[in-house]
Chains A and B, each alone.
Chain A
Amino acid sequence: MNSTNPISEISDEDLLNFEKNLTWTFTSVGAVEISNWLFSDYANIVNELWLGQHLGIITDRRGDEIVTNFELHQNREHYLFCEKYKNSWLYFLRKLILGRLFVQYGNTQKPIIVNELPSANFASNILTEATPNTKVLIFVRDGLDVVNYKAATLLSVGKRLQIGLSNYSKNNKLEFLKMESRKWAKMTSILLDIKKNHHESLVKIIKFEDFCENPIKKISEIFEFVGIKTDQSKLSKFTSEIRIKISSQKLKFWNRGVLSQEEKDVIENIMKKNLRELKYD
């Protein structure tokens, strides 16, 4: 092991400036592509960093509750990321995250957008707590649409999916829907907590449905939030492409109604707290 610090010449101030230029984007199904499309010309996009997945291990322990590793082990003082020694590991986790990304993107003047897949959302609270000066852009989406999409995938796969100890197929579709609903509810709770715990001015939540309703307005807001200057020429590019992007997303997820009323009721019951908080009907 070479014990020389590979970023020894980078000052704390450099690291802090880098941190301020970084935006975590936590997305829902369908929004990853939109985010890529939006930022591709104006920022460095870090796709599939996968740190969130490594940190955000989840278990459907009893088959009725999604728990993260952090929750499961936080009171065990031997666990690396335990509550008791949080000051210590958060400090060094910040260094790990920023140091690794700085070496790759440190020379850029453009904003850096980390565009994580939805499965990274389970560790979004840890990532943002470790990097308190970053911006956080959250795309949420109606849980019913998300689960509808997952159900359509299950049915189109046509074979059994094994997740944990359980096998899923169209024969036990309801169990699958319940699990996916619990995942959505858990993920959304974690994302909403960021709003409470991160600095208010550094968090922006965008509802995918609002984005589809008024895309140019939302794009302007997002760019301003991330630190990308917009002008009419930039916006006109989006104006010409946006309808195609959004309609393809809609077609992909919204027109596949594969849920019965009974299934919708079960799903809504699991999600109701977060659906209400996000003001979904």
Chain B
Amino acid sequence: MIETFAKKSFHELSEEQELKLEKNIVWIFGANRSGTSWLARQIEESSYLKMDEPLLGEHLGISIRQENKMIRQFDIRRKKESYFFSEKYKEVWIFFLRKLFLNRVYAFSQTVEKKIVIKEPNGSIGADIISECFPKSKFIILLRDPRDILDSRVDALSETGWSAKRGWKPITSENKIPFIERESLRWNQLIKILMETYNNKKENCLLIKYEELRGNTFVELTKIFKFLELKIEDDELQRIIDRLSFEKIPASEKGSGKRKRSASPGKWRENFSDKEKEIMNKILAKGIQEVGYEL
């Protein structure tokens, strides 16, 4: 054998350890810019380890645009036997994918005893597949009005936005409308997957709205911690909330163009033109109403 993979330089988990670790994981799914970082930090503060974006779901959920919808290669190809993630060999690839991921998490955590929160916004497009691979884990789905998400993303990708400064191609007047169209289609695709995940995993899954989490953080976090079977005193919970509140962030570190922007639901109404609102509302209408936002 050319490569000595057989002589491992790391510990391989037993099946019992894998199961224990799987049970200790909580995933946070939601669109990029829907408050997943904030929620993950709050859970981390209560003694969890945190993994930021392993991107397993992003690799599983590669998508293309077909006319007026986005579709995953997984959904296009799953019936084909030759496809790596085919339906026919699902039991096999899930078995090994689960092993790969859990052992990789262990390489980072070095324990199976601690609780771990995994924030996976950009991988949420694979939420349903992930929830099938890790049926004993818990899942929190964080929803936010997609028009606020778009508003935040447009701001981040403006010439002076934090995302553009990190090297991403900025949004210009020329490509703004195509961006809005495409990202609205992406949200439609994502919300369908997230709601399917929720409906299939109700006993292990909690649905939260950013607007409610922001509006009444104490009540919503109490609900979340109860779901996680995590006992926490009210005053400790309040300390966590205060420590991580948007209001505590120094003025110089927040605002337009910054990663922490406004945390104010509904800003999209002021920031988009009538034409832009019309385009996004037309694409998003069905999904928005299904998850209970006003059109």
A residues apposed to B, CB below 8 Å: 1-3, 5-7, 12, 16, 46-51, 53-55, 57, 60-63, 69, 73, 76-80, 85, 87-96, 99-100, 103-104, 132-133, 162, 164-167, 199, 202
Contacts and interface: CB of A to CB of B under 8 A. Distances in A.
A150 B91 CA distance: 39
B50 to A, nearest CB: 8
A269 to B, nearest CB: 21
Contact of B59 (A57, A103, A162): A57
B178 A165 contact: yes
Contacts of A165: 169, 171, 175, 178-179
B85 to A, nearest CB: 8
Given A3-B19, A85-B104, 18 more contacts: A1-B94, A3-B15, A6-B92, A47-B82, A48-B82, A50-B85, A54-B73, A63-B169, A76-B52, A78-B54, A79-B55, A89-B103, A94-B5, A100-B84, A100-B92, A104-B89, A133-B1, A165-B179
Interface stretch (B6-14, B27-35, B238-246): B6-14
B91 A6 contact: yes
A80 B93 contact: no
B87 to A, nearest CB: 13
Interface string B37-56: 00000000000000111111
Contacts of B60: 54
Contact of A61 (B53, B58, B62, B169): B169
A124 to B, nearest CB: 15
A234 B84 CA distance: 31
Contacts of A96: 93, 96-97, 99-100
Summarize A's interface: helix, strand, loop or mixed: mixed
A164 B168 CA distance: 11
Contact of A80 (B3, B104, B167, B171): B104
Contacts, number: 140
20 contacts: A6-B92, A12-B6, A48-B77, A49-B82, A57-B58, A61-B167, A73-B55, A76-B52, A76-B53, A78-B108, A79-B54, A80-B59, A88-B103, A88-B104, A89-B107, A90-B5, A95-B96, A95-B100, A100-B84, A100-B89
Interface residues of B, number: 58
A125 to B, nearest CB: 14
B175 A167 contact: yes
Contacts of B15: 3
